[in-house]
Amino acid sequence: MSAPTPKPRFTHFALFVKDIARMEKFYTDIIGLTPTDRGPHPNVDVDMVFMSSDPKEHHQFVLVSGRPDNIEFHLNQQMSFLIENLSELREIRARAKAAGVEEIRCRTHGNALSIYFDDPEDNMIEIYLHTPWYIPQPHVVDFDLDQSDEEVMKKTEEYCRADPGFMTAPEREVIMAEMMGL
């Protein structure tokens, strides 16, 4: 009998940064993460700030000093943070605007409603919520976050139902579980 296949869950991400204090302020004030610990690494000459939005997870995100000034390419394409509803999406957009973020893009992927913007060191951030629908990815169209919740959801559902691969999120979860051998 073979051992069961491990099913790791993604729990946290660490990011090298140039200005750890500025980045901590951004991720605290705009994204809403809470610093949970901080200090110098015991074996490497870097400082670390551990952050989370879940009291059950010591850290979901870690800022690490030491990103060289002369490296402009970002190895991460984006960092995504899940929220619960459109009100929270609007609140984070308002915080980002108030902090001087100039370009905020509102996009739906059918299965998610997202806003995208850059942090102070030009790392792309996605803040998103799930929808009750699924369409094959990649998909992206703009949406108007200034519309009512009902209008945003109605238009997103219409967009999804027009796709030949449309299904509900619970139907897709069954397929995903089968794909994962669960």
> CATH no. for residue 129?
3.10.180
| 56 and 84, same domain (yes or no) | no
pLDDT for residue 26 = 95
Residues 109 and 90 in one domain: yes
Residue 5 lies in a domain: no
Give the span between the Cα atoms of 83 and 124, in whole angstroms.
17
Question: How many separate domains does the chain show?
Answer: 2
107 and 158 housed in the same domain: yes
Rounded to two decimals, the pTM is 0.86
Cβ–Cβ < 8 Å for 54, 11: no
Same domain, 42 and 103: no
State the Cα–Cα distance between residues 44 and 162, nearest whole angstrom.
53
CA distance readout (Å), 119 to 48, 60, 154: 18, 17, 31
**pLDDT by residue (tens digit) across 126-149?**
999 999 999 999 999 999 999 999
Q: Of all residues in the chain, what percent carry a pLDDT higher than 70?
A: 96
Rounded distance between C-alpha atoms, residue 107 and residue 116, angstroms: 8
| Minimum mean pLDDT range among 8-12, 24-28, 164-168, 174-178 | 8-12
Domain termination site, one of 67, 86, 104: 67
Q: What is the pLDDT of residue 11?
A: 76
What's the mean pLDDT in 89-113?
Answer: 96
Ramachandran area for residue 175 (φ above 0: left; ψ -120 to 50: alpha; else beta): alpha
Share of the chain above pLDDT 90, in %: 74
pLDDT of residue 76: 78
Q: Which band of pLDDT confidence, cut at 50, 70 and 90, is reported for residue 1?
A: low
Domain that holds residue 121: 78-182
Whether residue 73 is contained in a domain is answered as no
Q: Which pLDDT score is estimated for 5?
A: 66
Query: Which residues are CB-contacts of 141 (< 8 A; sequence separation ≥ 6)?
Result: 107, 108, 159
Kindly state whether residue 135 falls inside one of the protein's structural domains: yes
Cα distances (angstroms) measured from residue 64 to each of 21, 67, 125, 149: 11, 8, 17, 37
Same-domain pairing of 88 and 171: yes
Which pLDDT score is estimated for 163?
96
Q: Are residues 47 and 132 in the same domain?
A: no
Rounded Cα distance between 171 and 106, Å, is 26
> What CATH number does the domain containing 29 carry?
3.10.180.10
Residue 6's pLDDT band (cuts 50, 70, 90): low
The average pLDDT across 97-119 equals 96
The whole-chain average pLDDT of the chain stands at 91
pLDDT of residue 103: 96
Same domain as 157, residue 124 = yes
* Domain-embedded: residue 6: no
Tell me how crowded residue 14 is: count the other CB atoms within 10 A of its CB: 12
For residues 60 and 82, membership in a common domain is answered with no
Cα-flanking dihedrals φ and ψ of residue 101, to 5°?
Answer: -70, 125
